[in-house]
Amino acid sequence: MAARGPRGRAIASLGRLVEAGARGLAFAGGTILLALSLMTVASILGRALDGFGLTAVPGDYEMVANGCAIAVFFFLPWCQLKRGHVTVDILTGAFPPRVQAVFGLIGDVLITFVSAVILRQLWFGFGEKFPYGSDALRDALGMGYKPFYPETTYELQVPVWILYGVALAGAVMMVLVGLYTIARAWGWVRDGQEGTS
């Protein structure tokens, strides 16, 4: 069904923008996982062929752990946008379409709330790791005290604040997608069933 009125057109336009951002992050997450897979194969072959002068990829465990965490943050917005989270439809399927839409709205509100809490906590973690900025700026942004030294990963010495910062991009997008899905679900509740606008 076509979007009705200026508000409906605005929500549809915002939806296209949100979908493009979420899709881009999902593709980036998939690219990260593909690169990690290839790196893991190279590392395993290096270990297996150690006697022939090859070796494992240095920091392979570290790269897999951090890369997978970032990929998860990049996949979450797309999953929320497409309603891919786990739901229990055994009971809700028996209700009328409008009640099902209300349950969907409640789910979107709860996921957005949890996403905001995750973003907040990730921001605090980023602030604890980020070694730059004046005390006044850090206070204004809620970043806490500046660390005495920049923390790095064990083997590759990658500054941890960079990893937090990259994950923050996915967390911010997740909250934005959550806010959009609330607006979309509210329209579905008004229309009386999901997927109408």
196 assigned to some structural domain: no
165 assigned to some structural domain: yes
The terminus-to-terminus CA distance of the chain in angstroms comes to 6
Reading the block at residue 85, the tokens are 């989270």
Residue 73 near residue 125 (C-beta atoms within 8 A): no
What is the C-alpha R_g of the chain?
21
pLDDT of 1: 43
Helix axes 97-129, 60-81, angle to 10 degrees: 150
103 assigned to some structural domain: yes
**Structural domains counted in the chain:** 1
108 assigned to some structural domain: yes
pLDDT of 197: 56
pLDDT of 94: 86
Instruction: Check whether 49 has a pLDDT greater than 80.
Output: yes
Instruction: Check whether 89 has a pLDDT greater than 80.
Output: no
Q: Which domain holds residue 60?
A: 5-191
197 assigned to some structural domain: no
pTM of the model: 0.89
160 assigned to some structural domain: yes
Q: Give the pLDDT band of residue 59 (cuts 50, 70, 90).
A: very high
